[in-house]
Amino acid sequence: MHCFIIVALTADGFIGRDVAHNSTRWTSKEDAAWFNQRSKQAGAVVMGRATYDTINKPLPDRVTIVYSRDADEARLVKNQSKLEKNQIYYTQAKPKDLLNKLDELGFNEVAICGGSSIYTMFMQAGVTDKLYLTVEPVLFGDGIKLFNKKLNIKLKLKSVKQLSSQTILLEYIVD
């Protein structure tokens, strides 16, 4: 199972101003197009409840999986024999267990889409093999960091792509 993080960062390294900040409105149209194309290619996206609440709908043409502390959510991934696009499913599973379930259901890759706690959880679990970081020409000065705990993980730069005259995409492989 191929598991990658896909995220937009400000030039000073933040993914948002605060938890209420809409995660899709401050990035460029080029980043939005890249995100849509790459996450649709994966077929399944995983995010935390706070990230989902800023979007407040399933992502079109993808299976949307939301980490939630609410054990009573209606559609739990672990109970499904098939996952439908344009639907929301909930989980509390450990990253490895979730990826095993997705693999069992026929998925080859999954996009981890935020927020900070979810990015950290997947990196700490050692299941992420690639990071796509879009760097936008924006400064927040303060805000939500990409990871919310200390990590010691080496990366290898695979590619640098200019999405526009102002926005770059960095592709890293987890070493």
Check whether 143 has a pLDDT greater than 80: yes
pLDDT given for residue 24 in this prediction: 67
pLDDT given for residue 14 in this prediction: 95
Domain chopping of the chain, boundaries: 2-174
- Residues 92-133 pLDDT 10s: 999 999 999 999 999 999 999 999 999 999 999 999 999 999
Candidates 174, 127, 131; CA nearest to 155 is 174
Share of the chain above pLDDT 90, in %: 82
pTM: 0.94
Cα 59 to Cα 7, 19, 35, distances in angstroms: 15, 19, 11
CATH of domain 2-174: 3.40.430.10
The mean pLDDT value of the chain amounts to 93
Average confidence (pLDDT) over 54-65: 92
CA 15 to chain centre: 11
Return d(Cα 98, Cα 75) in angstroms, integer.
14
- Residue 59 per-residue DSSP state: P
pLDDT given for residue 80 in this prediction: 83
What is the token pair recorded at 61? 């043409």
Per-residue pLDDT band at 46 (split at 50, 70, 90)? very high
Q: How many helices (H) and strands (E) does the chain have?
A: 4, 10
Check whether 75 has a pLDDT greater than 80: no
- State the amino acid at position 139 in one-letter form: L
